[in-house]
Structure 1
Amino acid sequence: MGAPATIDERVRRWSVYQPWLQEDPVTPWNELREHGPVLRSEEAGGYWILTRYEDIEWAARNPEIFSSAQVGIPHRDVFPVKQIPIQLDGEEHRKWRQTLSDLFNPGVVNHFEPQIRQAAVDAIEPIVEKGRCEFITEFATSLPAETFLINFGIGREYLQPLLAHKTWLRREGIPNARTDEELHAANRPLWQFFSDAIDRRRAEGTEGRMDVFSRLVESTYDGRKPTQDEMVNAAFVSMLASLDTTTAALGMIFLYLAEHPEVQQLVRDEPAKVPAIVEELIRHEPVSTTGRILTQDVERHGVTMRKGDRVMLSWGMSGLDPDVFERPLEVDFDRSSTRQLAFGIGPHRCLGMHVARRIVRIALEEWHTRIPSYHVTAASIPVRHYSPARGVARLELTIG
């Protein structure tokens, strides 16, 4: 299960699912970037890898060439229709972004911040009483999920069924389903759950409400009301896109904090620096990787990529490019440049980035108010994983 012996073979075998990359993909990725800007893996049917910040940004800013019709490598059609808006291109995508962008803007996040803080406190207080926790299941997974329910106006009593289906879909459904039709069938109960939630919101009334479902019911797309299935689609996609990535970011950031007590003290002593701390640790701890499919032949750095070829874009790893960030492997909370691509860039920039940043900021503030010091539990070993959302599968923490 070890890494291939040569760099050429490591490139050819590269995949976010390779066992030899799970613990530390960063060191091999830096090796890839030095090896070349455009490389070719033969895993999952073959795809190109853009290793440098400038090329990933270039691809993101040219969606007419780099289509989002297939965003996974390997790609699975989770729904029988395209996911709104992440699998859409061109005018269709622009119009849906116009419809959805106001649902996740900073004003909406500000409105729900007290409820998100309360959810964080509710998760932290039992940990304080025990003096220890398994951070991923007890905090990093639950807080983004509760935030999703709060933003969408769904009762917190639905937390466990939502998490159970999401966990099954990511760990078993998408990797193991023999056909996409099996995935479609398995998703029908949750699809119906979201449809029922929209019906409840209509029945209760939407006037004066700020939650996503209320505003979605009142929104327009291309001069008409969105259909029920379109609203369910957008909600389902928001769940899939936000929960795993925010959980992954929390896991990576708190693992770093647990191993660096001086940064814990900085959070306690200088709370005004928390936004800068969050931004730098999001850059330093790469999370997200997605894919694109080419709509035409294109040449880059002397390499011709053909129409129909797939391309991997590692948004997180781009933050470690030394051509853009001085001393990229060091953590520097006073960096002058924060133009990272952790949330993407261009037309497909993450709609939920304001929510994600706020969740992480609230987590740091509320956690360190109640748990001023902590460390990785003695004799436990954090379990890291590399995937489309790189993160930590298990993280045992002890207070004190």
Structure 2
Amino acid sequence: MTVDDRFGQGLEEARKNRLLGTYSEIVTDPVSDWATDFSHVDPAYAADPYAIQDDLRQRCPIAHTERFGGVWLPTRYEDVAAIAYDTDRFSSRSIIISNVKPPPELAPVGAAPPISSDPPFHHDARKLLLPAFTKTAVSRQEAATRAFCHELIDAMQGQDVVDAARDYAQHIPMRVIADMLGFPPEDGPRFRVFVENALESVNRPPEERFERFTQLSDYLVVQIQDHLANPRDDLTTYLINAELHGRKLDPTHVVGTMTLLLIAGIDTTWSAIGASLWHLAKTPADRERLVAEPGLLPTAMEELLRAYAPVTMARLVKEDMSWNGVDMRADDWVLLSFPAANRDPAQFEQANEVVIDREVNRHAAFGLGIHRCVGSHLARMELRVALEVWLERVPEFTLADPAAVTWAASQVRGPRTLPLRIGAVPG
């Protein structure tokens, strides 16, 4: 069997895995009671989850719904942390809730290793990626990232209102991830479609989601084949050649990891940049202080990550059990809301206030436990550079129309449209 044949068969296996699992009824009705019938894709939750989470934390710290085949939602930091660290009772074999629950047989690898992997496989799969995401490796991306941010702002000259989500925030991680994987930079618009297909169609029919994932996997195999024919020094070639336990990575592993890097590596950072600009646009005191005190930005950035943490991950319950007063069934989903954990007043003083000079800030924006984000150094670099360049070039900006801001209704929350009034952009 040739290498090309191996990846072709691997793609077919990955596609079959997408069809496996337990299907549940699609429910699109409005939420009747957030404690017993919540939906994380409800428009009200997308617009402002914090008030809902605060209410649940007071009267029902672990909410439940029968949607998606059964989901639990803990809202206290201690509960989120306990589940994140408990790999014995909670599986990561699928971290995006949808109407299909993959079978236990997919563990311990899952569809997108290492984020979908359980111990002991997880440790070695994660270790493979670490060299590409060290501080030293990330620092080599900074100059190009900064130059690209300037290019994006140069293109805004002459415009009074720009969409900072679509015209700025989304493009930065797209370019960085494309460069790291060795993908054509002009494919950025396709990446946006892949992200939205993966994360914002979870309440669509399974066959539709399968077709959307097929578009992504087809694209990735084309890129893999190009790298097989033309090897170069990038992350795709590295994954193709990497070995685990003395053998080349399984093709489904390569495709799954590339899917993870493309989807998670883009949407999380895109959302963090957008949410930060949204906050600064509506909070002139914080914006003016950061313009006057640029050295405060690293501290402020951590606070913005805490307050507007974009990521909520999922786990699957391994066995029927009673957990902290609720009766969980095998294969129930659990939503690990790191945004809710970050606003728990039992963990943070002034939890619902953005304090840009907060000194003690052990937030959970990058997750907790063994699955803490492997790309956190990269995300921090991109966020810092994006804000540094924006505040340098566009020190004055406001929301052009607060009502026109829209937010992603998915497990990665960030502005999808963010119209800002910016006035003149200096050359």
TM, length-normalised to structure 1: 0.89
1:240 aligns with 2:263: yes
> In the alignment, which residue of structure 2 is the partner of 1:358?
381
1:230 aligns with 2:256: no
Distance 2:371 2:269 in 1: 18
> What amino acid sits opposite 1:41 in the alignment?
T
Distance 1:227 1:295 in 2: 25
Tell me which of 70, 85, 94 is aligned to 1:46: 70
Residue deviations 1:174-226 (CA, integer Å, cap 9, x gap) = 73542664345333421223313432552xx44xxxx3234435543223332
1:135 aligns with 2:164: yes
> What amino acid sits opposite 2:192 in the alignment?
L
1:274 aligns with 2:297: yes
Note the C-alpha offset of 1:237: 1.4
> In the alignment, which residue of structure 1 is the partner of 2:3?
none
Provide structure 1 residue ranges, at least 5 long, that are not aligned to the other structure.
Answer: none
Residue deviations 1:258-316 (CA, integer Å, cap 9, x gap) = 01122222222211111111110111113211211111344333223233222111012
> In the alignment, which residue of structure 1 is the partner of 2:344?
321
1:149 aligns with 2:178: yes
Moved more, 235-244 or 54-63: 235-244
Distance 1:289 1:173 in 2: 14
Distance 1:17 1:238 in 2: 23
Distance 2:327 2:112 in 1: 29
> In the alignment, which residue of structure 2 is the partner of 1:332?
355
Distance 1:375 1:117 in 2: 23
Kindly report which structure 2 residues correspond to 1:70-149, keeping only aligned pairs within 5 A, or say none. 70-74=94-98, 76=100, 82-149=111-178
Tell me which of 196, 199, 212 is aligned to 2:225: 196
Aligned length: 389
Distance 2:242 2:413 in 1: 34
Q: Summarize the Cα distance change of 1:39–1:166 in structure 2 as closer, same or farther, 3 Å threshold.
A: closer
CA contact (8 A) 1:248 1:390 kept: yes
Distance 2:273 2:316 in 1: 30
Tell me which of 253, 261, 276 is aligned to 1:253: 276
Distance 2:325 2:30 in 1: 32
Q: Summarize the Cα distance change of 1:200–1:166 in structure 2 as closer, same or farther, 3 Å threshold.
A: farther
CA contact (8 A) 1:116 1:150 kept: no
Tell me which of 17, 32, 37 is aligned to 2:61: 37
1:391 aligns with 2:397: no
Distance 1:39 1:378 in 2: 34
Distance 1:367 1:140 in 2: 10
1:13 aligns with 2:37: yes
Tell me which of 185, 192, 195 is aligned to 1:163: 192
Q: Summarize the Cα distance change of 1:145–1:235 in structure 2 as closer, same or farther, 3 Å threshold.
A: same
Moved more, 116-125 or 176-185: 176-185
Q: Summarize the Cα distance change of 1:333–1:179 in structure 2 as closer, same or farther, 3 Å threshold.
A: closer
CA contact (8 A) 1:65 1:296 kept: yes
Q: Summarize the Cα distance change of 1:94–1:201 in structure 2 as closer, same or farther, 3 Å threshold.
A: farther
CA contact (8 A) 2:132 2:138 kept: no
Moved more, 28-37 or 383-392: 383-392
Tell me which of 40, 63, 82 is aligned to 1:58: 82
Distance 2:55 2:377 in 1: 32
Note the C-alpha offset of 1:172: 5.1
> What amino acid sits opposite 1:159 in the alignment?
G
CA contact (8 A) 1:51 1:318 kept: yes
Distance 1:184 1:164 in 2: 11
Tell me which of 368, 372, 393 is aligned to 1:349: 372
> What amino acid sits opposite 2:308 in the alignment?
E
Tell me which of 323, 326, 332 is aligned to 1:300: 323
CA contact (8 A) 2:31 2:39 kept: no
Q: Summarize the Cα distance change of 1:345–1:376 in structure 2 as closer, same or farther, 3 Å threshold.
A: same
> What amino acid sits opposite 2:73 in the alignment?
I
CA contact (8 A) 1:194 1:232 kept: no
Note the C-alpha offset of 1:54: 0.7
| Structure 1 vs Structure 2 CA RMSD | 2.5
Distance 2:189 2:408 in 1: 23
Q: Summarize the Cα distance change of 1:176–1:115 in structure 2 as closer, same or farther, 3 Å threshold.
A: farther
Q: Summarize the Cα distance change of 1:179–1:301 in structure 2 as closer, same or farther, 3 Å threshold.
A: same
Distance 2:276 2:254 in 1: 33
SS at the partner of 1:390?
Answer: coil
CA contact (8 A) 1:280 1:331 kept: yes
SS at the partner of 2:156?
Answer: helix
Distance 1:71 1:147 in 2: 24
Distance 1:362 1:382 in 2: 23
Distance 2:332 2:189 in 1: 39
Distance 1:177 1:308 in 2: 18
CA contact (8 A) 2:101 2:331 kept: no
CA contact (8 A) 2:94 2:111 kept: no
Percent of aligned positions with the same letter in both sequences?
27
Note the C-alpha offset of 1:373: 0.6
CA contact (8 A) 1:38 1:50 kept: yes
Distance 1:151 1:215 in 2: 11
Distance 2:192 2:48 in 1: 27
